[in-house]
Amino acid sequence: MTDRTFSPLDRLLGEIDRSIRVLAAPTRPGRASPAGAGVDAGLSPVERAESARLMRVNHSGEIAAQALYQGQALTARDPAVSLAMRQAAAEEIDHLAWCAARLDELHARPSLFNPLWYAGSFAIGAVAGAFGDRTSLGFIAETEKQVEAHLRGHLDRLPTADLRSRAIVDQMTHDEAAHGAHAESLGANQLPFLIRWAMRLTSRVMTRSSYWL
């Protein structure tokens, strides 16, 4: 039996299906949530609102991560790199599911901008992949470095009493560091300063928008 060759239309329909599943369908994590079982205790209304806003930002970040990895996998030239991108996206599904579940617990909704973040991140990933695998890997390494710093900042801002959110963010921080290290081990090129600066600026726009909406 020969492997099936997918047409451009097949691949387009596949990406549309993935986007719908990420944006609309319930996600099923491969790992149990670090938050564990139990209920919140000791959170004031103000603390609960702050936790909800921060976890909404993190949920949007995971939406963008799914799109970024899928876009890069689509244009990767080395099958091994494409597989690594899709495997990383699968691992990030855990983060997406954990954040979505935590938002439900906090009686909060996802960001209204998530479809925009998905579309924009997918396009950025596809373009990065088109510049070559080492550049694409460099983009992943830099993204994960910035995300790790962002999550550590959230650990400083989350209410001390919100142990459930803090456990999720802490595990995500460790996972993102591992993803970045893996990209570097595959031969990532360091990105020019201007691109790294533009990435930080784009991230700032996304996080501030998702914090409120």
- What is the domain partition of the chain in residue ranges? 43-212
Which are the contacts of 159, defined by CB distance < 8 A and separation ≥ 6?
Answer: 43, 47, 50, 51
The model's pLDDT over 32-59, given as tens digits with 9 standing for 90+, comes to: 899 877 666 688 999 999 999 999 999 9
| Cα–Cα distance for residue pair 167/198, rounded to 1 Å | 30
Q: Which burial class, exposed, middle or buried, applies to 17 when counting CB atoms under 10 A from its CB (0-12, 13-18, 19+)?
A: exposed
Contact 168, 35 (CB under 8 A): yes
Of the candidate ranges 35-39, 63-67, 69-73, 155-159, the one whose mean pLDDT is the lowest = 35-39
| Cα–Cα distance for residue pair 153/204, rounded to 1 Å | 13
Tokens representing 103 are: 């938002």
Q: What is the pLDDT of residue 50?
A: 95
What angle, rounded to 10 degrees, do the helices at 133-157 and 193-212 form? 40
Dihedral pair phi/psi, residue 132, rounded to 5°: 120, 155
Closest CA to 169 of 183, 154, 180: 154
The model's pLDDT over 69-102, given as tens digits with 9 standing for 90+, comes to: 888 777 777 777 777 777 777 778 899 999 999 9
pLDDT of residue 115 exceeding 60: yes
| Cα–Cα distance for residue pair 202/199, rounded to 1 Å | 5
Q: What is the pLDDT of residue 20?
A: 57
The model's pLDDT over 9-29, given as tens digits with 9 standing for 90+, comes to: 555 555 555 655 566 656 677
| Cα–Cα distance for residue pair 58/61, rounded to 1 Å | 5
Fold of 43-212: Ferritin (1.20.1260)
| Cα–Cα distance for residue pair 135/189, rounded to 1 Å | 6
Q: What is the pLDDT of residue 198?
A: 84
Mean pLDDT on 146-153: 91
